[in-house]
Structure 1
């Protein structure tokens, strides 16, 4: 059954003044995410891996802060030097009404509450990153600016696009390297292959490269790398760059997402997985098993 969601349904009545010209902007994370008329990398991934209906619902119902995001947000704050305040809650368990009220007040103020062990952990993660020979140079505060929001227009569809760089390096001679910081369970390169596919990092790579190229920040020789850090001691770091084949696939997926976004925006119709009756087979392994057993 097709899900129909009208564009803008349940969206807040007021929003930021639309950005119509390409540019680099200094804004908060909340201000950036409020520009929902512009397609982001995460939005493009939802359009491809889920459906337009899922995308529209996520845009109209922004996620509230969740505990699961606290460690990543806190580590970003310490690594990048910009972001919400980290507040240590001096209680190992958040079960009493008093502690719950304290945590809620911290979140309501836009900050990140952390248990004592978590507070120490993210500081240890940041210290480990500063000791890493490559990552420490990529996020050197003397040679870049954290969290800059980029807006540009796609030439083929006319869709306004947006990207929020973790780090914008200062202009310099030679090849520009643009880093993005990720926390992860395992930073082993083979494990990260699956993460790239599951989380669509190759689409993010293409989006950020496109943004920097469109705005004249970097040319085609620029490198975009992911600085992946484990969330358990010794907080190992691996810096990766997706290869050319993955980048081509990411670019093709983004192109399809832009076409879907443009069509749905124009029609106001955000469908689910399919408008047709979909024939569904048994999984191949089950079909093989039962064919041998019963047919």
Structure 2
């Protein structure tokens, strides 16, 4: 199921690849490939120019993502090593130096209480009957990368799955682990819109189908609260939400193909002078003053 990597990594054949995160995000497809996260950057309120800049200038690790990355490490079993920093906060010089040293070594610095937090989160996942089954290490692999050429779209695409289940065990279910402030399905529905998770739904289904892992894969989100009691909820998107995700994905793929062909990645309004207006609330505020 997993392709063998050549000595000099160039991916020009579709398949499942066991790559480290740095190699995946560097995009080893010679002509370039599009990921779900890249697709989101191509669409409003972003623009192709911002996508191109992000692709050429990988962002630095941000402190705000450390907890989520650490939770992924303990829940999925792969990722950067965690380093516990013996401090109450990050304000002291000693704590800042310890964090900088850890990052320089490719590790994730966490306060001691945060290490305890992510361990409690991982334990809650293992206690959850559905999530623990979907992420069973005996029947799947974490952080697997899929590359394929989409002939209809005319581009190469890629996806990095949190978890790739073992085929042949009932319906093929692809789980994606998300940490959130709330595991309430109604709250997560808002996050789906904000972060365009419905585009990701379409992307990962396409990935599984493209490399013949499943004809009709199911994609679900395992959502976990970052605060006690670390509740876990597994959700799937309804047909209408999936439709919107498909249309967004198709729009992004067409934009990527067209921009790649001409080598031009436009900004917000390169060829026009848009007319803008104040927000309606600002006009009402002015009229009522």
Alignment of 1:55-94 (within 5 A): 55-94=51-90
**Structure 1: gaps (5+ residues):** 1-15
Q: How many Å separate the matches in 1 of 2:69 and 2:288?
A: 53
Q: What's the CA shift for 1:256?
A: 0.9
CA 1:290–1:100 in structure 2 vs 1: closer, same or farther (change >3 Å)?
A: closer
Matched position secondary structure for 1:164: strand
Q: What's the CA shift for 1:94?
A: 2.8
Matched position secondary structure for 1:190: helix
Give the aligned CA root-mean-square deviation in angstroms.
1.9
Q: What's the CA shift for 1:282?
A: 4.2
Alignment of 1:113-262 (within 5 A): 113-220=109-216, 222-262=217-257
Match of 1:23 in 2: 15
Runs of 4+ in 1 over 6 A off after TM superposition: 290-294
Match of 1:43 in 2: 38
What do residues 118-154 of structure 1 show as CA deviations (whole Å, max 9, x unaligned)?
Answer: 0000000001111111101111111111110000011
What do residues 229-248 of structure 1 show as CA deviations (whole Å, max 9, x unaligned)?
Answer: 01000001111101111111
What do residues 87-113 of structure 1 show as CA deviations (whole Å, max 9, x unaligned)?
Answer: 111112333433322211211111111
What do residues 206-244 of structure 1 show as CA deviations (whole Å, max 9, x unaligned)?
Answer: 000000000111112x21000000100000111110111
Q: How many Å separate the matches in 1 of 2:174 and 2:105?
A: 31
**Structure 2: gaps (5+ residues):** 1-7
Q: How many Å separate the matches in 1 of 2:147 and 2:92?
A: 44
Matched position secondary structure for 1:263: helix
Query: Which deviates more from structure 2 when the two are superposed, residues 182-191 or residues 100-109?
Result: 100-109
Q: What's the CA shift for 1:278?
A: 1.4
Q: Is the 8 A contact 1:70 1:112 kept in 2?
A: yes
Q: How many Å separate the matches in 2 of 1:251 and 1:262?
A: 16
TM-score (norm 1): 0.89
Q: How many Å separate the matches in 2 of 1:226 and 1:188?
A: 12
Q: What's the CA shift for 1:292?
A: 8.3
Q: How many Å separate the matches in 2 of 1:32 and 1:272?
A: 26
Match of 1:5 in 2: none
What do residues 24-43 of structure 1 show as CA deviations (whole Å, max 9, x unaligned)?
Answer: 10010111101072100000
- Residue 267 of structure 2 corresponds to residue 272 of structure 1: yes
TM-score (norm 2): 0.91
Q: How many Å separate the matches in 2 of 1:250 and 1:41?
A: 11
Q: How many Å separate the matches in 2 of 1:96 and 1:184?
A: 28
Matched position secondary structure for 2:161: strand
